[in-house]
Amino acid sequence: MANITKKVSWSSRTDESGAAGEGTPLLNGSEQPRLSRQDSLRGRPKEIPHNEKLLSLKYESLDYDNIENQLFLEEERRMSHMGFRCLEISRWVVCGLIGFLTGLIACFIDIVVEQLAGIKYQVVKENIERFTEFGGLSISLILWAVLNSTFVMVGAIIVAFFEPIAAGSGIPQIKCYLNGVKIPRVVRLKTLVVKVCGVICSVVGGLAVGKEGPMIHSGAVVAAGVSQGRSTSLKRDFKIFEYFRRDTEKRDFVSAGAAAGVSAAFGAPVGGVLFSLEEGASFWNQMLTWRIFFASMISTFTLNFFLSIYHKNPGDLSNPGLINFGRFESESMAYNLYEIPLFIAMGALGGLLGALFNFLNYWLTIFRIRYIHRPCLQVMEAMLVAAVTATVSFTMIYFSNDCQPLGPEHTEEYPLQLFCADGEYNSMATAFFNTPERSVRSLFHNPAGTYNPLTLGLFTLTYFFLACWTYGLAVSAGVFIPSLLIGAAWGRLCGILLASITANGSIWADPGKYALIGAGAQLGGIVRMTLSLTVILVEATGNVTYGLPIMLVLMTAKIVGDYFEEGLYDIHIKLQSVPFLHWEAPATSHWLTAREVMSSPVTCLNRIEKVGTIVDILSNTSTNHNGFPVVVQITGSDEPAKLCGLILRSQLIVLLKHKVFVELARSRLTQRKLQLKDFRDAYPRFPPIQSIHVSQDERECMMDLTEFMNATPYTVPQDTSLPRVFKLFRALGLRHLVVVDDENRVIGLVTRKDLARYHLGKHGLEELQLAQT
């Protein structure tokens, strides 16, 4: 598993503007020239030697700590009580907007998918019916495969060529963002557009994917866009919400957006809130949580409202989200104490199957990184998968003779008679001839006897491998629904088997219950979420009764799965070498102190510093900092310099750009004082140091950093244990933590990478290596 050469697919492609904008304030300045060189070979991604035990230096941190410099304090002090209230109100307005837009997008995706898939199934069904009589079903197969491949091709092309970061479900990326890692281009408008079109194509293309994961990403992008009151892509600045143009506020809104996405996808507002909190918020803030909840609520509400109009039942808001599991009535679905061990066993099975899924997908991803890294290859793989999916489905329908009587109420939308007798339909066809959401629902709710055990078994097996092959393709699609579908299938199978081995089957009679438990177990085994997933499933089924069984099942699946392999999202995060901070420092890390983990020596700046020095430091490719401690040296004394503040690379860039030099300020008395607005206008795409011209004369000027530096950075003594440093860092969402000695002299700097390096491996505490990838 070690020492493989890989391409970092999330952010391997860097177009010129992006590289200039995002690439600059990298921790690692040295990458800059290489990037420019690579850019000339456009479309050909670079290959980076990669080792799984590496931690990439290319990811920046978000700054969740306010930069409390004099400008900021002045602004806050000028603001009246009423001003703060208005801010609070606008935060609510933004959250409402986020919820509304996310709901709209979910609605759009849902309707378009339903329409297109409807047309597709109708065409294929008619074709099959025509050829069933006259023979020559191979033509139907080809039609089906071509239709699917075409849709998937479109989806894969826009993802692979225009925005590779829109691939996959987007949940790992959002997890990283909420964790405090800046993933380039993840919350751009372009990403959103590609994501939405991509997910429509891949779902309509019949891949074993869901549209739920991408909703979470979409919600996050909406949030990041709306809250900033401008779009850099569209070059529009609405001059509103300028106060929110900083990492602290933006990340809060992105949490709300992700929650709104979950809420729209599953009709689970509380689950959405818990998802955001579980993944993102280390510092729980009551008002923030309410706003997140509000955004979630509005999102579900908007989706319901527009879907109710679409379904010609306007104003009826009692529908759930994108995926509708149908309502489980507790009367018919009661469970008993002695079923709990069975549920737990199913949880363990889910954990095992999930670990197998993740294991296969891990190797597949490694394979893809090695051999399938060109966009055209990626598109071809996606088309191949689409064609194979269609072929496998067709074959299984063809060879299955599981005929079921057509119900009087025609619950199946596209019943396919095929070789069945009149008045019957092919049951296997139903499983494939449906959007996966509908299949899950029918597995949950169809009365006992609808499915043949053999059909279910075969379906589980094929769908398992198809879903595993599909996840990680260059299409935008989620893994939730395929997991639920696999789980529901084998869960229902378990239910049927249990019913057949027990004679008096009244309590066992409902295999839908076991389908639900199986679905939970499989999904839990793959993604390894527990709290939020429990709530999402409870909300999606509309039944609180199943809370405890679902929780037990998810816990078991997590424990069993973790024993073999990490969660799917964690695998993909790890393969990107993202410096992801977990909730707590590794348990056995009390041995380590700040002195051992910190980066040292640190480049410090003087409070009044020569412009030339600053330019040199910023241009120096070996200076791998984004934050510089500011020190003060009493002139004439030989006392060591004391820490007096912290300034960020991005701030220095803005200062240089506006030429805030002491000499100029003296000569041009009328010069406008630099304001917070100037920093906010530059946020978040600060120009690179190379683009700022500093003349030789200006190099001799001095810059006074007093006003702009954060005068009260958090510090720790050098003997502080790692868990203590970690706790401070994580709880406050810091980006830089200055390590000082007992004379208040700077001796080091702790950053995210220094903390993320340590993790608990199989053999105790392990240390990842830092790499320039």
Distance CA 198, CA 193 (A): 8
* Residue among 170 and 272 whose Cβ is closer to its own copies: 272
What residues contact 13, with CB distance under 8 A and at least 6 apart? Answer: 45, 164
What residues contact 707, with CB distance under 8 A and at least 6 apart? Answer: 69, 70, 71
Distance CA 283, CA 274 (A): 13
* Residue among 287 and 454 whose Cβ is closer to its own copies: 287
Query: Which whole-number Å values give the CA distances from 715 to 126, 581, 627, 711, in the listed order?
Result: 71, 19, 14, 12
Residue of 717, 757, 771, 772 that binds its own copies (CB under 8 A): 717
**By the 8 A CB rule, do 245 and 680 touch?**
yes
Residue of 104, 392, 732, 771 that binds its own copies (CB under 8 A): 732
Within 168-227, which residues bind its own copies (CB under 8 A)? none
Residue 544 in the binding site for its own copies (CB under 8 A):
yes
Residue 277 in the binding site for its own copies (CB under 8 A):
yes
Distance CA 333, CA 495 (A): 13
739 in helix, strand or coil? Answer: strand
Burial of 551 (0-12, 13-18, 19+ CB in 10 A): buried
Beta carbons within 10 angstroms of residue 5's beta carbon: 11
Within 365-384, which residues bind its own copies (CB under 8 A)? none
Distance CA 250, CA 680 (A): 12
Nearest to 551, CA basis, from 343, 324, 349, 351: 343
Residue of 53, 680, 727, 757 that binds its own copies (CB under 8 A): 727
**By the 8 A CB rule, do 191 and 11 touch?**
no
Residue 104 in the binding site for its own copies (CB under 8 A):
no
Cα 599 → chain centroid:
29
Distance CA 276, CA 295 (A): 12
* Residue among 141 and 288 whose Cβ is closer to its own copies: 288
Distance CA 536, CA 170 (A): 18
Residue of 236, 311, 590, 677 that binds its own copies (CB under 8 A): 590
Within 388-447, which residues bind its own copies (CB under 8 A)? none
What is the identity of the amino acid at 74? Answer: E
Only segment of 372-380, 447-455, 579-587, 694-702 that touches its own copies (CB under 8 A): 579-587
Residue 79 in the binding site for its own copies (CB under 8 A):
yes
Within 316-345, which residues bind its own copies (CB under 8 A)? 316-318, 320, 327, 330-331, 334-338
* Residue among 335 and 686 whose Cβ is closer to its own copies: 335
- Position of tokens 């529009």? 236
**By the 8 A CB rule, do 326 and 531 touch?**
no
Only segment of 222-230, 286-294, 410-418, 679-687 that touches its own copies (CB under 8 A): 286-294
Residue of 44, 502, 731, 766 that binds its own copies (CB under 8 A): 731
Residue of 744, 757, 759, 771 that binds its own copies (CB under 8 A): 744
* CA dihedral of 531, 537, 542, 545, whole degrees rounded to 10: -60
The three-state DSSP-derived secondary structure of 367-402 is HHHHHCCCHHHHHHHHHHHHHHHHHHHHHHHHHCCC
CB of 372 to its own copies, least distance (A): 35
Residue 642 in the binding site for its own copies (CB under 8 A):
yes
Distance CA 713, CA 605 (A): 15
Residue of 60, 63, 278, 570 that binds its own copies (CB under 8 A): 278
Query: Which whole-number Å values give the CA distances from 758 to 172, 593, 716, 766, in the listed order?
Result: 20, 12, 19, 6
Only segment of 22-30, 143-151, 380-388, 707-715 that touches its own copies (CB under 8 A): 707-715
Residue 269 in the binding site for its own copies (CB under 8 A):
yes
Within 552-571, which residues bind its own copies (CB under 8 A)? 555
- Position of tokens 């990283």? 176
CB of 266 to its own copies, least distance (A): 11
Helix (H) or strand (E) holding 770: strand 769-771
Burial of 501 (0-12, 13-18, 19+ CB in 10 A): exposed
CB of 547 to its own copies, least distance (A): 6
* Residue among 11 and 179 whose Cβ is closer to its own copies: 179
Only segment of 250-258, 419-427, 492-500, 640-648 that touches its own copies (CB under 8 A): 640-648
Only segment of 16-24, 53-61, 481-489, 737-745 that touches its own copies (CB under 8 A): 737-745
* Residue among 129 and 316 whose Cβ is closer to its own copies: 316
CB of 742 to its own copies, least distance (A): 5
Residue 539 in the binding site for its own copies (CB under 8 A):
yes
Only segment of 66-74, 355-363, 383-391, 648-656 that touches its own copies (CB under 8 A): 66-74
Residue of 392, 498, 665, 711 that binds its own copies (CB under 8 A): 711
Q: What is the token pair recorded at 69?
A: 């410099």
CB of 310 to its own copies, least distance (A): 15
Residue 134 in the binding site for its own copies (CB under 8 A):
no
Only segment of 23-31, 182-190, 622-630, 709-717 that touches its own copies (CB under 8 A): 709-717
Residue 237: what are its φ and ψ, rounded to 5°?
-125, 115
| Dihedral sign from CA coordinates of 362, 363, 368, 370 | positive
Residue of 27, 281, 557, 770 that binds its own copies (CB under 8 A): 281
Within 29-58, which residues bind its own copies (CB under 8 A)? none
Cα 591 → chain centroid:
34
CB of 293 to its own copies, least distance (A): 6
Residue of 81, 239, 410, 666 that binds its own copies (CB under 8 A): 81
Residue 73 in the binding site for its own copies (CB under 8 A):
yes
Residue of 545, 599, 603, 772 that binds its own copies (CB under 8 A): 545
CB of 80 to its own copies, least distance (A): 7
* Residue among 70 and 395 whose Cβ is closer to its own copies: 70
Within 497-536, which residues bind its own copies (CB under 8 A)? 530-531, 534-535
CB of 172 to its own copies, least distance (A): 17
What residues contact 91, with CB distance under 8 A and at least 6 apart? Answer: 244, 291
* DSSP 8-state class, residue 691: G
CB of 625 to its own copies, least distance (A): 21
264 in helix, strand or coil? Answer: helix
* Residue among 125 and 730 whose Cβ is closer to its own copies: 730
CB of 527 to its own copies, least distance (A): 14
* Residue among 148 and 299 whose Cβ is closer to its own copies: 299
Only segment of 11-19, 292-300, 412-420, 465-473 that touches its own copies (CB under 8 A): 292-300
Only segment of 42-50, 143-151, 484-492, 738-746 that touches its own copies (CB under 8 A): 738-746
Residue 619 in the binding site for its own copies (CB under 8 A):
no
* DSSP 8-state class, residue 507: T
Only segment of 19-27, 33-41, 76-84, 562-570 that touches its own copies (CB under 8 A): 76-84
What residues contact 673, with CB distance under 8 A and at least 6 apart? Answer: none
Could you list the beta-strand ranges (E) of 676-757: 702-704, 715-717, 736-740, 746-751
Count, residues near its own copies per rule CB under 8 A? 89
Nearest to 439, CA basis, from 489, 476, 491: 489
Residue 615 in the binding site for its own copies (CB under 8 A):
no
